[in-house]
Structure 1
Amino acid sequence: MRMRPVRLNAATASLFIVGSSCFVLGSVPAYSDAVGGVGDALTYFVGSIFFTSASYLQLLQAQTPAMTDVDESGQHVPQPVTLWRRRPDDRGWLAAITQFAGTLFFNMSTLAALVQNASVQAQDRRVWRPDAVGSTLFLVSSVFGILAVGSLWSWRPRSLPWTVAWLNMVGSIFFMASALASYVLPGTGDTLDERLAVAGTLLGALCFLAGAVLMFPAWRRAVRQRRVRPAPERQESE
């Protein structure tokens, strides 16, 4: 399979934008009231599918250097895509593979949330636990993402990759806060903190949305700054 690097990046960013928008929409109380519990849960599930699709494309980028190491002209040249390759020494790949795993857990939790009138035990086992694991994996992925562009203590607000990495980190923190607040108390069946759960999802999704939008200018800046590689000189035959 061959793809143009610029199109792969655009597809990844676009899918993240749609997925994040679904989570933002699902977190708006007025929307939830309008579509009902099932409609709201379905919105989250659809958003999680877009998240997973985008995350897989980002994994393809991370394990195919030819998809990112291009200049302005090379970004339009179709390149072979590596469908699977372990790169444990590459922090960008570690961020991508960990994020992809996290999205799969979100698929499970949002799908399980479609079941109505589930018992408290079932909600904690099938919805809350995968949500907590997915949020944890997102946090780990965000750490790898920051390390891929610098260090945890660097301050580079003019760098778009740095900004995107930290937006993802803040978004992951909000998602974790939402996951913890979503725990269903066994004794009463009430959510630990409903307001925090909704606010955490909303703010986290907004951070992911902003990071996804910035992937477009970050790409354009990167290919502009990358020097064009001269063609190898041919040796004249004697």
Structure 2
Amino acid sequence: MGSVCFAFAALPSIAAALGAIATNVVFVIGSIFFTAGAGLALGLPNRSSSVIQFVGTLFFNVSTSLALAAAIPAGAAGNSGWRPDVYGSICFLVSSVLAVVALARQRADARDTAGGWLNLAGSVLFGFAAVGAFVLPGTQALLSPFWTGVGTVGGALCFLVAALLGLLPTPSRAGGQRAATASK
């Protein structure tokens, strides 16, 4: 659900139709779903990846909430507000790298491996979005509005597909343990 919210709210036509306040509410709701999912993953075997991902979602909770708080007094005159923050994006990237390494060590099945790589791709795209969202000093201009939008939507879609892969029935494994990665 978090991925759906982020992909939906990051589409320029949706953001324009909803307005700044409603768009930022969708981002806040999405960040809460991301955090709930990351919280559930804390008990999975790849704990270091899960903890770092959880911290990243908390950064997104803060940044989406601050964007909403800024949009409320601006009302209809405000812009869409939230843009990916660098701290949450770095946490997602580190978490995804750790997960892919753990999956390789565990010799995970193809579905888990694909999910790990999709999460990594999503994290890279969120990183591009965070860099693109850098506001140029002395202006209100983003470094790259293109990458801010494409990175957010593309990253969210990668996270969504990884999460959907994780919902598929798990093939039996010797020992009964499944390689686990947290899907955003």
TM-score normalized with structure 2 length: 0.83
Of residues 39, 44, 56 in structure 2, which corresponds to 1:102? 56
Q: Deviations over 1:109-154 (max 9, x none)?
A: 1111111378xxxxxxxx77x8101100111101110111116xx9
Residue 172 of structure 1 pairs with residue 126 of structure 2 = no
Q: Please, which runs of 5 or more residues in structure 1 have no aligned partner?
A: 1-17, 63-91, 119-126, 229-238
1:211 corresponds, among 162, 165, 168, to: 162
The answer to whether structure 1 residue 132 and structure 2 residue 86 are counterparts is yes
C-alpha displacement of 1:31: 1.1
**3-state SS of the aligned residue for 2:47?**
helix
Aligned partner (choices 21, 34, 41) of residue 58 of structure 1: 41
Match of 1:195 in 2: 146
Residues in 2 aligned to 1:142 and 1:57: alpha-carbon distance in whole angstroms:
16
CA shift, 1:216, in A, is 1.7
Deviation at 1:184, TM superposition (A): 1.2
| 2-structure distance, mates of 1:179, 1:94 | 23
* Counterpart amino acid of residue 94 in structure 1: S
Partners of 1:196 and 1:207 in 2: CA distance: 15
| C-alpha separation in 2, matches of 1:187 and 1:112 | 21
TM-score (norm 1): 0.65
Are 1:142 and 2:100 counterparts?
A: no
The total of aligned residue pairs comes to 166
TM superposition shift of 1:183? 0.9
2:23 to 29, 40, 60: 40
SS in structure 1 opposite 2:85? helix
Following superposition, the deviation at residue 227 of structure 1 comes to: 5.3
CA distance in 2, matches of 1:108, 1:180: 18
1:113 alignment partner, SS class: helix
* Structure 1 Cα separation of the partners of residues 28 and 151 of structure 2: 17
In 2, Cα distance between equivalents of 1:136 and 1:227: 34
Deviation sequence 1:150-203 (CA, Å, 0-9, x none): 16xx9x8x6111101100000000000000100112211111111210110000
In structure 1, what is the equivalent of residue 180 of structure 2? none
> Is structure 2 residue 23 aligned with structure 1 residue 23?
no
Quote the Cα distance in structure 1 between the aligned partners of 2:142 and 2:50.
31
> What is the aligned counterpart of 2:170 among 220, 223, 228?
220
Which amino acid is 1:59 matched to? L
Find the structure with the greater CA-based Rg.
1
